[in-house]
Structure 1
Amino acid sequence: MDGEGDDTAVEANETAGGTAAHEAPGSAPTGDAAALVDQSAVKPAELTCPNPECGVVVYPGEVYCENCGHRLIAGQPGNGAPATSGGTECVGCGEAAVDAEGYCEHCGLKQPADRDHLEVALDTPGGPVAGVSDRGKRYARNEDAFAIAPHNTGVAAVVCDGVGSSPRPETASRAAADTAATEIASALGAGASPGDAVRAAVAKAAAAVSALADSPEQAPSCTFVAAVTGPDGVTVGWVGDSRAYWLSADDLRAGDPGDGDLADTGELNAAALNAELDAAYNAELSGDPNATTPDAETLPLGASRRLTDDDSWAAFMVASGALTEAEAEAHPNAHVITAWLGADAGEVRPHVRAFLPDRPGTLLVCSDGLWNYFPGAEELAAVLRNAQADPAADPAGAARTLVRHALDAGGRDNITVAVLPMAAAPSTEQAR
């Protein structure tokens, strides 16, 4: 993904160099030719939406404003042209002129979609949990999806982010999230371990997304992250750069930052990533296609931290020692992902890790529309702490708070977050 949140997938063996820039189709006239240019036809450097209630920057060639949905191209319906008949009725002008993409062909208004803003709040045996997804301020549709599924000993949350450079990314994320959440709950109900349930869910989600492809060149795709709670702790699995975080209750209390500096030990941890690559390589040599990150050893959660490592160009370059974290994050390829679900993804190998909470806290699962603005666990904890949003008391309010802060910070991507409060595990001794 690029720094603004557009998802771009690349094959894992692609070279680390930047992609060549393409010249614009045509160049500005020079010399005498420039003098002949009709100045009345020159457009300002930044075009803005003509809707007086909007006014955001728009770009040449765009038909609709991605912020408010107004049509931008003159001479087409939307500028007083006669409305077409037989369509769905527009919520703005009332004409039956809504096209297949959800725009009114008479007034240009983008119709509200079911996925523009979604909220789910559930009461589970382990307590309340919640999720919120919002399309943000830039895009005309929400390409994120999430699903929350209670199971017999806890709850599973799945967040998927459609890859924007692929066709129909919103269908990929929806299929993956729904398929995975259902499979996790089913597998756990049948007695599977959380790690095996997550691996089975990723396999079924990958198959569901691959089935959407018209061809290998027209393959919808998405990232994936799942978190499963239960009496034995937390299990997370992921493919791509959607993330899971642990936010300790101590770090969320207003006026009490916990144990001093928050330990975001998952942030581009080169040593951990190198160990993970070695584990994957050794598992491949041993003939075990499912063993990626070993989850037999349950790790203590402790203070707030990130639980996942991105499948991204930046993470790979840091893990390999080629760049420092600051250098990698400043590179244009920083958020290009190196693994995803889709017919063009090749063999999908999820990362799976297990953790044991030694104190109460909150499991947070999110897309990059949130973490692009607040990448560290300490930053996410600070947002909730400063807003006095207590996830344990009101997980839906905490999820709304995080989404609102991402919108206020720019909202340049779809934003999705699931909030799962947890108590400390009954026993904090690790089985080794």
Structure 2
Amino acid sequence: MDVAMTSTTRTVCPSCGEPVSDADLYCESCGAELQAGAAPSTPALDTDTEPTIELHTGAPAEAFTPGPCRSCGGTVGADGYCETCGTKASKPRDHFSEQPAPWVAAVCDRGIRHSRNEDAVAIAADPEPGSRALLVVCDGVSSSLDSDVASLAAARAARDVLAAGHAQGMGTESSREAAVIARLNAAADAASDAVLQNTSPDSPNPASCTFVATVLEAGLLVAGVVGDSRAYWFPDNAEAVGLTVDDSWAAELIATGVPRHEAETGPQAHAITRWLGKDAPDHTPRTTTLRVDGPGWLLVCSDGLWNYCSEAAPLADLVRQTAAANGGEPLATSSALVDWANAQGGQDNITVALARLS
């Protein structure tokens, strides 16, 4: 995720040659460190300590025995390195998943090109399929040392606010919609506070992240967004729907008539115009409401996925085909979509959250 548009001097990454800002600490394209040893003078946390990741089992990721080496399949030793090829094992944050109910799941992955995972996801769901699901995705801006920690804190804080209660309103459909939107606004406030709490007050590059959340309750679907992470609704027997509009330079170009492909592949394609963070101009999410009355897939994702398939209709086809190949199981489908994005190049962190409505 690129930093919001700035006027800082541009240069190039010494590792891959891609354009970077002189304020960037990491290259957006390859993840290379640009300012060796640079760190806030008063760090918000120990950046050498990996944030605790709670998997869908509810246990801390650190309590799990490391899996096989992702490079050769060998055994990872107690020192964190493969005993066969010597490759350093993946950190828990590099790839994790959640599945609070059989019909809802999410997978978050570092991708191939980046050195750390600044994406984050937090989800919740009731056991009955189609009843209630809460999906939150945050994508950290890569110019800050703390964005990986802040994005995870933001996603979890928002999820907890959304899960705190059911919105009833005054008994009418319009009041119920208004109540859900108010709860989404409160979730964004909590996410913003979490980002601020994980930002060093002296940091020249304060932690920032995008925010997208969906609330599905009894046939009502509400999506809220700040930045360019996205939500989609893919009904089985109707036209695919993009639920969010990006807060980005590319979206502004598209609104003026620039073709989508041209706008989304230009030099400022991923420059966002709104975000969560200390220097954010406004973090109130833009919301969309929709009545859901049939089977389909609800997708919430970061740009690590939609970079490679942006428009709703082809992305819906990809999700349906992937789901069919994985028995319609949300966790397996989410994982396969992450694998697909990595196969396309994996140039960004990737997050996929899915709910299957039958």
TM-score category (smaller protein)? 0.7 to 0.9
Q: Distance in 1 between matches of 2:133 and 2:204?
A: 36
Match of 1:408 among 325, 339, 343: 343
Q: Provide the secondary structure at the position in 1 that maps to 2:107.
A: strand
Q: How many residues align?
A: 295
Partner of residue 399, structure 1: 334
Sequence identity of aligned pairs in percent? Answer: 40
Partner of residue 212, structure 1: 198
Letter in 1 for 2:138: C
Q: Give the superposition deviation at 1:372.
A: 0.4
Match of 2:239 among 303, 309, 323: 303
1:148 correspondence with 2:83: no
Tell whether the 8 Å contact from 1:146 to 1:177 is kept in structure 2 after alignment: yes
User: What's the CA shift string for 1:288-334, capped at 9, x where partnerless?
Assistant: xxxxxxxxxxxxxx511211111100111232x27443442342012
User: What's the CA shift string for 1:172-227, capped at 9, x where partnerless?
Assistant: 11011000000011143787822111111001111111122223634111111001
Q: Give the superposition deviation at 1:171.
A: 0.7
Partner of residue 360, structure 1: 295
Q: Distance in 2 between matches of 1:118 and 1:23?
A: 32
1:33-432 equivalent positions in 2, closer than 5 A: 109-123=87-101, 128-150=103-125, 154-188=132-166, 193-215=179-201, 217-250=204-237, 302-319=238-255, 321=256, 323-387=258-322, 389=324, 393-423=328-358
Letter in 2 for 1:248: P
Name the TM-score, length of structure 2 as normaliser: 0.72
Runs of 4+ in 1 over 6 A off after TM superposition: 57-63, 90-93, 189-192
Q: Using a 3 Å threshold, how does the CA distance of structure 1 residues 61 and 159 change in structure 2: closer, same or farther? A: closer
Letter in 2 for 1:337: I
Q: Provide the secondary structure at the position in 1 that maps to 2:166.
A: helix
Q: Using a 3 Å threshold, how does the CA distance of structure 1 residues 115 and 232 change in structure 2: closer, same or farther? A: same
Q: Using a 3 Å threshold, how does the CA distance of structure 1 residues 390 and 122 change in structure 2: closer, same or farther? A: farther
Q: Using a 3 Å threshold, how does the CA distance of structure 1 residues 359 and 342 change in structure 2: closer, same or farther? A: same
Q: Give the superposition deviation at 1:168.
A: 1.5
Q: Using a 3 Å threshold, how does the CA distance of structure 1 residues 136 and 190 change in structure 2: closer, same or farther? A: same
The unaligned stretches of length 5 or more in structure 1 are 1-5, 26-44, 46-56, 64-89, 251-301, 424-432
Letter in 2 for 1:367: S
Q: Distance in 2 between matches of 1:60 and 1:165?
A: 10
Structure number with bigger Rg: 1
Q: Distance in 1 between matches of 2:10 and 2:331?
A: 43
Tell whether the 8 Å contact from 1:384 to 1:401 is kept in structure 2 after alignment: no
Letter in 2 for 1:130: A
Name the TM-score, length of structure 1 as normaliser: 0.61
Tell whether the 8 Å contact from 2:99 to 2:331 is kept in structure 1 after alignment: yes
Q: Provide the secondary structure at the position in 1 that maps to 2:141.
A: coil
Q: Distance in 2 between matches of 1:175 and 1:418?
A: 17
The unaligned stretches of length 5 or more in structure 2 are 18-29, 37-65, 70-74, 170-175
Partner of residue 430, structure 1: none
Q: Distance in 2 between matches of 1:214 and 1:206?
A: 14
Q: Using a 3 Å threshold, how does the CA distance of structure 1 residues 8 and 360 change in structure 2: closer, same or farther? A: same
Tell whether the 8 Å contact from 2:219 to 2:293 is kept in structure 1 after alignment: no
CA RMSD in angstroms comes to 3.4
Q: Provide the secondary structure at the position in 1 that maps to 2:299.
A: strand
Partner of residue 82, structure 1: none
Q: Provide the secondary structure at the position in 2 that maps to 1:389.
A: helix
Q: Provide the secondary structure at the position in 1 that maps to 2:164.
A: helix
Q: Give the superposition deviation at 1:94.
A: 5.3
Letter in 1 for 2:147: P
Tell whether the 8 Å contact from 1:132 to 1:416 is kept in structure 2 after alignment: yes
User: What's the CA shift string for 1:29-63, capped at 9, x where partnerless?
Assistant: xxxxxxxxxxxxxxxx9xxxxxxxxxxx9989899
Match of 2:5 among 10, 24, 28: 10
